[in-house]
Structure 1
Amino acid sequence: MEFKKPKTFGEILMLQQYLDKNIHSSRERTLEDITMSFIAECVEFNEETKFSHKTWKTKEYDKAKELEELTDIFFFFAQMVNYCDTNLDEFTKIAYLIDLDFNEWNKKYIVEGHIPVLYLIQSVTKNHLLTVSDLLIEICQKLGYTKEDILESYWNKWQKNIKRIGKEWN
C-alpha cells in the first residue's frame, strides 16, 4: 500500500487508522487510554512552549520541539476521532465538521499570548471533539503554525512511527 502526505484532516484520519491497526497492543485500547495519552501530550507540549507551567526552570525555547509535541497531540486527536466512529452518522458529521474547520483554517486568532492548554484538556475529557478541534487550530495560529506546518510535521512523524512498529513498538 502506498501512502502520501496528507492534504486534509480526513487524510490524517486515514493514516492514523492504518497506524493504529498495525500497532500490536498488549490489550485493547480504550477511549480512556487515548484521552490519557492526549492529556500527557498536552503537558509535554506545554513544557516546550514559551508559556510553560515550569516557571522555575530556565530552558531554551526550541520551536521544532514545540511543533513536534503539538503534532503528537494531533496524533491522539485523530486516534480519538477514529475511535468514536462506532456511531457512523455521528462520526461522519464530526469528522466532516473537523475536516471543514481544519481545511478552512481561517486566520481568526491573531493575538499572541495565552494558549488554552487547560481548556483543551478540559474539553477532551468531556469528549467535546469540535471544541478540541477549534482549540487546536487556535493554539496553532497563536503560535504561528500553518495548516501546512501541521500536515508536514504529521506526515514526517507518521513515517517514523510506521518504522517503529515491530521494533520499538510491539
Structure 2
Amino acid sequence: MLNLEGIKGVIFDLDGTLVESSLDFTAMRKTIGCPQDEDILTFIDNLPDNDQQKAAHQVILDHELADAREARWLDNGKAMVEAVLKANLPMAIVTRNCRQASDIKITNNNIPITNVLTRECAPAKPDPTALLMVAEQWQIAPAQCLYVGDYIYDQLAAENAGMRWVLV
C-alpha cells in the first residue's frame, strides 16, 4: 500500500488512480487531427483559430462527460484513500480532467475529497503549478507531500514540484 512515513499531505490523480477511465485518446486525437505522439491539450492550445480550439475542446468535453458517467472506484484507489483518511492527513485531487467531468466522477462514487484542482484551475500536468498550489494552501513543504498517479505526467509533475510520488 502507500508508505506515508514523513508525509503530511497526499494528492491523488483521478483517472486510472482513483477511478477507472475508458477515455479513448486515439479516437479523440483522430477526431481533432492531433498526432498520436503529441499531448492533446497542448495541441488544442496551439490551434491557430479560436473556433477550431472551441470545437476541439467540445470533442474532449463530450468524451469526458460520457466517460464520467460510467467511471467507478478502483479498489486500489479506494483502499489508498481509506489509508490516508485513517492517517488523518489532508487530501486533494489534481487532474487533467475538466471540472464538470471530475465532479460527476467524485459525486457518483462518493469520493471523500473536496479539494479538487482541474485543468481550469492551473496549467495541466506535467506542469507542477496545481500541486504546488495545494502544498501552499496546506502550508506543507512540497517534499512532505505525496502525489499518487498512474501516468508519466503524474511522475513528472511531482518531480517538477519537488514532491514524493508513486505510480499505481
TM, length-normalised to structure 1: 0.27
Greater helix content = 1
Higher relative contact order (CA 8 A, sep 6+): 1
Greater strand content = 2
